[in-house]
Structure 1
Amino acid sequence: MIEERGRVLSVEAGAVWVETVRTSTCGSCAAKAGCGQALLSRVGSGAKRGFIRALTDRQWQIGDEVFIGIPEDAVVRGALWVYMVPLLGLFASALLAQAAGVAEPGMIGAALLGLAAGFAVVRWHGQRAQRDPQMMPQVLRSAGQVMPFAPEGRLNG
């Protein structure tokens, strides 16, 4: 289970909106001096807060600190869909065009069509997965302390 700590911002029937603070592991990495990701995170836009809708069967109050989580296999399956399906579409259509004896410009066009078809399949699958509770974040437990809520997105205190 991949977990993240957050603060409840809004409550609705069967779900809550949680604000999380995105953290980077660049500070603990030995290669941070030569890494482009560390540079991008330092230069970034500063938008380090995420807002996530998480399912729950408990009643929460605005300002409650909670842990939300999503199963690791859901993340792995999602990554496989996003990366592999478009690539498989690209290669399959290019190989089919080659087997059909199509000239190189036609193979490039077929490969691009296969890539677009792969993206369309991923989009269709993503829309179906949005309705699957196993693929959505869940509130796991309370973090044990209540933080005061400030509408401007900052903690009071």
Structure 2
Amino acid sequence: MTTLPKKPDWRFLLAHPAHFLALGFGSGLITPAPGTWGSIAALPLAVLLGWLGVGGVWLAWLSLPLFVLGVWVCDVTGKALGVADSGHIVWDEIVAMLLVLAFVPATATAWLAALLVFRLFDIVKPWPIRWLDAKVHGGFGVMLDDVVAALFALLLLKVVLPYL
């Protein structure tokens, strides 16, 4: 008998701190498109961090320990769900979005463009993002492909934002 992967709920979310973070404070429970909801959850978090003086370069630096934390929380939660890269795990989207937001102006237009462009690369997964997603496993793999999608987004935003 094969066991089916667990579908997370609020009880699962609150059962372990790793699940709470990996599921993006609950944003990963929203369907459809939990990855988009996780990316959106990064926006108020970035505002809060900005109010605390953590914006720009400091936000980019903060993304590094958040990435390392993400390797652990995504690994723990993926194992508990029975799916290493469950769509409900959105900490990777949150950290990647924070990284993108660190390098764009804090305006509604720039943040909307950042969200749309990041989601584009995260969903379409051009090479090497798709390759990383398929070949690098565990919590590190969950985190890595989204950070590369964030870097692609930043390259496109560098070209596009001056015209918006």
Which range, TM-score by smaller chain?
Answer: under 0.3
Larger Rg belongs to: 1
TM-score, length-scaled by structure 2: 0.26
Normalized per residue, which structure has more helix? 2
TM-score, length-scaled by structure 1: 0.26
Higher normalized contact order (CA 8 Å, seq sep 6+, divided by chain length)? 1
Normalized per residue, which structure has more strand? 1
